[in-house]
Amino acid sequence: MDQATSEVFDAFVRARHTALLRYGTVLTGDPHSAADLVQDALERTGLAWSRVQQQGDPEGYVRRTMANRNISTWRRRRRERLMEEPPEQAYEDAARDDVLWEVLARLPKKQRTVLVLRYYEDLSEAEIARVLGIARGTVKSQASKGIAALRVAIGERESLWT
């Protein structure tokens, strides 16, 4: 990579690193695993930076790489890791946020990944299926199961408050 290309890549990393860490934390459920995931994705992106930059969506490429690498990890491990702390909050209802992140962290990884890509990243079912390398029907069923589990768990939590 020449000096000018290297500087552009460095600027991209500095500008998007925090957002990528938040995304990684939501995907993995663990800030340490998220940091490893971001580092791995950026290393792969850096090796292909000229091609990635020409495609016009480097952040999308990094996020797809992160999602794919995360899936590869949980396919190998088939274990779930719970989050110790939720990612940075976007709005003020902290009590509900805490409950949502806690319940989301307890979902199976495939359901959590589908929900994150659908509602956090705003991807369509077809895009999620392509990113994850699964059938569109699997995306639908995992999203449905995940949302049902969230509703039950959050409903149980809220009934304790009343």
Sketch the domain layout of the chain as residue ranges: 1-79, 92-162
> Could you name the CATH architecture of 92-162?
Orthogonal Bundle (1.10)
- Are 154 and 101 spatial neighbours (Cβ–Cβ below 8 Å)? no
- Residues 49 and 5: beta-carbon distance below 8 Å: yes
Q: Given this model, what pLDDT does residue 162 score?
A: 46
Buried b (16+ CB within 10 A) or exposed e, 67-88: bebbbebbeeeeeeeebeebbe
pLDDT in tens, the chain (162 residues): 678 788 999 999 999 999 999 999 988 888 999 999 999 999 999 988 989 888 888 999 999 999 988 887 656 555 555 667 766 655 555 566 677 788 888 899 999 999 988 888 888 899 999 888 999 999 999 999 999 988 888 777 665 544
Give the pLDDT score at 20.
Answer: 95
- What is the pLDDT at residue 105? 86
Say what the pLDDT of residue 87 is.
61
**How far apart (Å, rounded) are the C-alpha atoms in residues 152 and 150?**
5
What is the structure's pLDDT at 96?
63
| Predicted local distance difference test score (pLDDT) of residue 19 | 94
User: How far is C-alpha 92 from the geometric centre of its chain's CA atoms?
Assistant: 22
pLDDT at 78: 53
pLDDT of residue 61: 92
